[in-house]
Amino acid sequence: MNLGSIIQMSIFLAQENADSSKSILSTVMLIPIMFVIMYFLVIRPQKNEEKKKKAMIASLAKGDLVVTTSGIHGKVVEFKDNNESVVLNIAKDTLVTFSASTIQKKK
């Protein structure tokens, strides 16, 4: 059951029982339920992904092969600014400095 069908169901119930106090109660109860559903479908998974990315960035070491969010593949050469920046070797004699947060994944 998706969010759209839940909303349509609540509208239908509200129209069907407009004179009843049950419709008001069911509508009021539906709002917190929708927030709980949104938390588990959107907010919580996003926080988990953020934790995993921070742990991956913290575990980077010299010599790791990585991919940036822009799709650039490289090898970690050094860290700068308290591990906030990463220097990558992307080709022979080509060093590029990236923010550590732009590292998407290890290879």
| String of DSSP letters for 35-67 | HHHHIIIIIHHHHHHHHHHHHHHHT--TT-EEE
Paired sense of beta strands 103-106 and 65-68, if any: antiparallel
Kindly state the DSSP code that residue 18 receives in the 8-state scheme.
Answer: T
Residue 87's H or E segment, with its range, is: strand 85-91
CATH 2.30.30, applies to 61-106: yes
Residues 2-51 pLDDT 10s: 666 766 666 666 665 555 566 677 778 888 898 999 999 999 999 999 99
pTM attached to this predicted model: 0.64
Q: How far is CA 67 from CA 3, 19, 54, 95, in A?
A: 35, 60, 15, 14
